[in-house]
Amino acid sequence: MEHPLYIILLNACQTLPDKGGIATYTHELAHHLGKKGHIPSVLTYPSSNSSLFPPRHYQVRRLPSFDVSRLVQSGGSRGALLTRLPPKVLGMARDIARVTRGMPRKGQRRVLWAVTWWPEGLAAWLASRMLRIPYVVTAHGYEAIVSPHARRHFLYRGVMNRASRVFAVSAHTAGHLRRCGVSARGLRVVHNGIRLEPFVLDHSERPLVEQTRNRYSLQGRFVLLTVARLVPRKGHLAVLEALAGLRGRLPGLCYIIAGEGPMMEELREAVKGLCLQDSVRFCGEISDKEKVSLLHACDVFVMPNRDIQRPDGVFDTEGFGIVFLEASACGKPVIAGRAGGAPEAVVDGHTGILVDPSNPGELEEAVFRLYADRDMALRLGLEGKRRVEREFTWDRLVDQYLNELTVVQSRS
């Protein structure tokens, strides 16, 4: 490699050791870019726990100007864009320019990368004008479903359409972005990926899986699992209704719900109302190791995600669904909703079964098919595992990113 890329990743919302999808995405992206010989730096917010996760293959700069968690929590609302955001974004842009100018100059090729559009994308746009270098943005799904006010705002379209590339994590997300006025010129689909190593079931992991089975009394049960935030679009209630319908047909059925969220009490009440107390286990928030153990302990991973049109005009949808890939990596058949980006993560009849999330009867039949036909369940799980290994590793996906960044640099 004659001249490596200096890639400045901007993350003001979620980085390791904090948990979450954006944190994992940022880490894996920076880690694999560094492994391939490039020079990634992550600019992010201060954290008292940062010493718990020393990065390899990339640097982390923690800057007070990136501590905008309260703004991020308020979302892309018009009020935040117009009143609370400008001072913080200007501070972020100033620090981005300062750090970037301090990098070695000889033969350097630099690019700013906003891991979300807001507020990082706004800061990247301003800093790129100061530095005269390109910037790119990743769209995870919610960028395409912001409120109509924010969608029409000149800042939203300005950030997206002035970026050299907007990387959408699914074709579904890319389609929504186009409908929001984002130009197809720089829009590219690069799916999310996973690391395979944590999902390998070796001899050291098998006792943990057995402990999980014992902890939740899963011996002799046909186990369904959902790992997700407890929000309406994930489809937990549909699974509970299907369980009630299968009670007489499928003895020993057990459903594990892992995760926290605003629907917790509603789900507990539904379990009582449907008399499913003996069949449902609530795990609450779980660690990554516990998640892997549960994935290996279950028979089927199920998340019948659905699209929801909220009263405020926001279209709540599953941008991609990386947890489907994680289940496939463990060799498990998957049941997903025929909605959002899930059909890109789950191939119907090949790696899992897609169902109408509003039809509990269809979900019932999918569960019963996998219970009655264990050969089919095994085949779907194995095909899913092969597909993840073939198409969704970070090494492969980072190569796709680098191909696009090379084009960006050649035109800058």
Assign 316 to helix, strand or coil: strand
Residue 298 has pLDDT above 70, yes or no: yes
Q: Quote the pLDDT of residue 146.
A: 59
The Cα–Cα gap between 303 and 284 comes to 16
- Mean of the per-residue pLDDT values of the chain: 90
Higher pLDDT, 95 or 17: 95
Residue 144 has pLDDT above 70, yes or no: no
Nearest to 158 by CA among 150, 170, 147: 150
Q: Quote the pLDDT of residue 78.
A: 47
How distant, in Å, are the alpha carbons of 130, 143, 149, 183, 200 from that of 68?
Answer: 22, 17, 21, 28, 37
Residue 102 has pLDDT above 80, yes or no: yes
Element (H or E) spanning 138, and its range?
Answer: strand 135-139
Q: Quote the pLDDT of residue 84.
A: 61
Residue 110 has pLDDT above 80, yes or no: yes
How distant, in Å, are the alpha carbons of 254, 297, 314, 346 from that of 250?
Answer: 10, 19, 38, 25
The Cα–Cα gap between 230 and 328 comes to 21
Per residue in 222-281, pLDDT (tens digit) is 999 999 999 999 999 999 999 999 988 998 999 999 999 999 999 999 999 999 999 999
Q: What is the DSSP letter of 335?
A: E
Residue 90 has pLDDT above 70, yes or no: yes
Per residue in 351-391, pLDDT (tens digit) is 999 999 989 899 999 999 999 999 999 999 999 999 999 99
Let me know: does 242 contact 370? Beta carbons within 8 Å: no
Q: Which two tokens stand for residue 368?
A: 């019963």
CA terminus-to-terminus distance, the chain:
19
Please state which of the ranges 54-63, 78-87, 100-109 shows the lowest mean pLDDT.
78-87
Per residue in 332-356, pLDDT (tens digit) is 999 999 999 999 999 999 999 999 9
Instruction: Delineate the domains of the chain, giving CATH numbers in brackets.
Output: 5-193+393-411 (3.40.50.2000), 197-391 (3.40.50.2000)
Over its C-alpha atoms, the chain yields an Rg (Å, rounded) of: 22
Per residue in 19-30, pLDDT (tens digit) is 888 899 999 999
Q: Which two tokens stand for residue 77?
A: 């609302």
Let me know: does 10 contact 113? Beta carbons within 8 Å: yes
